[in-house]
Structure 1
Amino acid sequence: MSATMIKEFRLPDLGEGLTESEILSWKVDVGDTVSLNQVIAEVETAKAVVELPSPFAGVIKELHEQPGSVVEVGKPIVSFEVADDAGAPPSQLSGAFPRGAGESAVETPNAGETPKREPNLVGYGAVVEGSGRPARRPRTFAPVVEPVETRPVETTPVETRPVETTPAERPRSTPPVRKLAKDLGVDLAQVAGTGPGGLITREDVQGFAGHAGEPATATSGPVSVPGGGRPGERETRTPIKGVRKHTAAAMVQSAFTAPHATEFLTVDVTPSLDLLAKLKNSREFTGIKLTPLTLAAKAVLIALRRNPALNSRWDEENQEIVTFNYVNLGIAAATPRGLTVPNIKDADTMGLPQLAQALTALAETARAGRTTPADLSGGTISITNIGVFGIDAGTPILNPGEAAILGLGAVRTMPWEYRGEVALRQVLTLSLSFDHRLVDGEQGSRFLADVGAILAEPGMVLTMV
């Protein structure tokens, strides 16, 4: 009979330096036999819902976290009982992770043998300060793995002894916890750590901030206080986490970093709607969903060729303006978990049929909650369609790192001047917000005018390309 070992799988960084994820559900249970790449859990990062594939073939020995738990990157989430030769090279793992992903475990076959490192998932290891182990390296696809405690089957767990600290020693905590303490104005030197070896946890900081140093009470769902969602209550408190937490932080960052300017243009789009009706009856667009958003997206792509300043970003670190020679077109999508802005890669290379299909696929994926972190990163300019909610105009906030965002209002039948007379026409309002560091008033106005001209008279495209 071949020997078996216990291997722990730690929560990986699922992209762009994310520090934590929420366990939404387990697809397996203790005792289940799983195969390599089998989906074992569904987790929500600050950007998207991601399925975790198993890095090993074996038996589920222990689930370390329950659904609803928010887990920091690098913490064990599941243990496997596997054969000594279990595991696979990173190239065999599922595509749910960024390039360079692989297993995340270290095995110790027998006492006295040197631990063997195996390939690791991206961003592994939220390393405790003062542990003597190397911290995760920024901007790399293969950071150093923090050693994981493993043990042969049926051995007695080793007792963990608290680490003694001196008054002059900096309080032990992880980078996300230190950032939380800074945001809440908490001095970590005054916080008593309840984690292993006196580690200060997120709950310790929140408890100190909210209860003058008393231990925090953990909650796993919405918390109602007198006056909330149940009879006799008037308030309901819901933890801020996941996509909504990320969106809030991004919007605050954008609003207070990029100087926003917003312009409005009301356009008679009757010719565009007539064109849509004709295209829907054409053979080339059979089975393809066409909407005003489709034409607006194409108009944005064409207008960017004449106004490239709106397809750029401000590089503060290098003091440079980066102008993109491609367009990753972001489309704001309202989902049950909050607002997301997935983008269509290289949208400028697509014809109208391909663009329409990409928009449909993007919307369906977002509604199903299956947008990946890769789909949410790398956008260069965005569109938000507030017209679907019956709104005429607004002042959109820029997606961080982008120079502009276009808002589409509702299409309404209104009295409008047409050929010297007043007629009922189909009218919508465009709202363009832009970063005034990158785009001046003339550039923003010319871009908005070009988009409006295309939607008002699609034939104008012939004079622009």
Structure 2
Amino acid sequence: MALRDFRLPDVGEGLTEAEILQWYVAVGDVVTINQMICEIETAKAAVELPSPYAGTVTALNVNQGETVDVGTVIITIEDGVASSGASAAPAAPAEDDRNLEVPTGKPKQDAVLVGYGVKEGQTPARRARKAASGTQEELGESIVVELHDGPVVAKPPVRKLAKDLGVDIRRIRKSGNITRSDVLDAAMALHGMEQPPATTYDPHREDRIPVKGVLKEMAQAMISSAFTAPHVSVWLQVDVAKTLKAVKKLKDWEEFEGLRVSPLLIVAAAVLQATKEFPKINSSWDEANHEVIIRRYINLGFAAATPRGLLVPVIHEADGMDIPTLAKELMSLVDTAREGRTPPNRMQHGTLTITNVGVLGIDGGTPILTPGQGAILAVGQIREIPWTVKGKMKVRPICQLTLSFDHRMIDGELGSRFLARIGALLEDPSELYESDNDGDDE
């Protein structure tokens, strides 16, 4: 009988770890290929993993609630196939067993998981540690020291944070893995900031929430965005009386039967139309190549508060959709996000984001850019307030729009014209759904 080790795969783009939320099988259970064996949560979403092997479960190597690195053996399955070449000498390692030392040849590749897979040449391998020289002069409590020899052990998000904060990660004195906290301490020392004095507290009066999964990813993304992109925000108040009328009208159309039609749908359609007219809004900054990337497709993201934290699921190629198709995709996206079941591929490659703070009773705000994007639109609540219409004071439904954008490639004029165009489309959205103008609403 052969034992097969199933290692935690990378189910997203460059994810380094995941938490085992729930096991669906136990030791002794018989499983089949592609049978769902567990649910995991990554920094992107919660997903289920299918078994790449058929056989009997002999070991669950990771407990529920434990977070492990990609490449860790999480389950062992006996496949029921008799091994060949039996002898008294110890058996050679199975195909799935990986040497934890630095590989000398081409890395082996795990069994390809249905729906996921591992990239060739990215099989995790632990680098052999170099012995500490012990000759470096101690520099008191300072964490920033001279360059040291040997590799720096740090995960990609930590390296990026160090780069964003101007910290040379090679100067951080630390044995073992360098963490985010180490980088922040080094940044404070580098800029001459003193550590805050230690405080005393009663641990029984505090609740502590582990920073992992979606929360961890959100925090890192917001810090990265806030410290790398120069944010500028502009505001506009819009009379949305005709938008509300359009919502009621579309609900009666046969194409929208069974679909959820709301002002957010009209806003999304207006954003898509305005982006087609001002394509540079749909851009990002490429620091490595010193280029501005203007995308000819629009992957529209929607910031969503979910039980697992803030997510930004994406409608891909939204610019090619008509209003009914957009309504269908938006309804599916929102429902899936609320259930916490958004797959990783639906949260990747966004180019522009809408955040609807109005549903929370908020008039407006200054949203932080989604990393890698040039602009984000915040939509406030619709309020009945006094408004001047043709020289007369009337009570109208008014909505505040706030556009934050990256000032490196989007200047004030472009951002303002883009927002003004969205406002004009919401004040008269008839051209968005190719309907006749309904006339003035007073």
Q: Is TM (by shorter chain) over 0.5?
A: yes
1:294/1:179 CA distance change after superposition, 3 Å = closer
Amino acid at match of 1:448: L
Indicate the residue corresponding to 1:176 in structure 2.
155
CA displacement, residues 190-241 of structure 1 (integer Å, 9 cap, x when unaligned): 64xxxxxxxx4789x99xx9xxxxxxxxxxxxxxx9645xxxx221222111
Which residue of 18, 23, 36 maps to 1:26? 23
In structure 2, distance between residues paired with 1:85 and 1:328: 50
Aligned to 2:420: 449
Is 1:329 equivalent to 2:308 in the alignment?
no
Question: Per the alignment, in what secondary structure is the counterpart of residue 29 of structure 1?
Answer: coil
Q: Say yes or no: does 1:142 pair with 2:107.
A: no
Q: Report if the CA contact (8 A) 2:44-2:214 is conserved.
A: yes
SS of equivalent residue, structure 2 residue 296: coil
SS of alignment partner, residue 403 of structure 2: strand
Q: In the superposition, relative to structure 1, how do residues 241 and 129 fare at CA in structure 2: closer, same or farther (>3 Å)?
A: farther
- Whether contact under 8 Å (1:258, 1:436) holds in the other structure is yes
Q: Structure 1 residues 400 and 147 mapped into 2: Cα distance closer, same or farther (>3 Å)?
A: closer
CA shift, 1:401, in A, is 0.3
Report the identity percentage: 43
Is residue 311 from structure 1 mapped to residue 282 from structure 2 by the alignment? yes
**1:128·1:174 contact (CA, 8 Å) conserved in 2?**
no
Equivalent position amino acid for 1:352 in 2: I
Return the TM-score normalized by structure 1. 0.75
> Residues 239-258 of structure 1, C-alpha deviation per residue, up to 9 Å, x if partnerless?
11110110010001001111
Give the aligned CA root-mean-square deviation in angstroms: 3.5
Question: How far apart, in 1, do the equivalents of 2:389 and 2:129 lie?
Answer: 82
Partner of 1:236: 207
1:62-101 per-position Cα deviation (integer Å, ceiling 9, x unaligned): 0011111010111111100003399xxxxxxxxxxxxxxx
Mapping of residues 42-441 of structure 1, within 5 Å:
42-84=39-81, 117=95, 141-145=119-123, 166-168=131-133, 175-176=154-155, 179=158, 191=175, 200=176, 227=202, 233-441=204-412
Cα distance change of structure 1 residues 85 and 279 upon mapping to structure 2, 3 Å threshold:
farther
- State the secondary structure of the residue aligned to 2:222: helix
Alpha-carbon distance between aligned partners in 1 of 2:255 and 2:122, rounded to the nearest angstrom:
52
Contact 2:275 2:282 in 1 (8 A): yes
Shift of 1:347: 0.5
Verify the 8 A CA contact 2:45 2:340 in the aligned structure 1: yes
| Offset, 1:379 | 0.2
| Counterpart-to-counterpart distance in 2, 1:374 and 1:293 | 23
Deviation at 1:287, TM superposition (A): 1.2
Aligned residues: 387
Residue type of the partner of 1:60? V
One-letter amino acid of the structure 1 residue matched with residue 119 of structure 2: F
Amino acid paired to 1:296: V
Query: Relative to structure 1, is the Cα distance of residues 255 and 188 closer, same or farther in structure 2, using a 3 angstrom cutoff?
Result: closer
Q: Unaligned stretches of 5+ in structure 2?
A: 110-117, 135-148, 186-199, 436-442
Distance 1:136 1:442, change over 3 A: farther
Q: 1:378-413: CA deviations, max 9, x gaps? A: 000000000000000100000000000000000111
Distance in 2 (CA, whole Å) between partners of 1:36 and 1:377 is: 28
Q: CA deviation at 1:423?
A: 1.2
* Deviation for aligned residue 1:284: 2.0
Check whether the contact 1:130–1:172 (CA below 8 A) recurs between aligned residues: no
How much has 1:425 moved relative to structure 2?
1.0
Equivalent pair of 1:108/1:114 in contact (CA under 8 Å): no
Partner of 1:339, secondary structure, is strand
TM-score (norm 2): 0.78
Unaligned runs of 5+ in 1: 87-106, 149-162, 192-199, 210-224
**Letter of the aligned partner of 2:36 in structure 1?**
V
* Equivalent position amino acid for 1:263 in 2: V
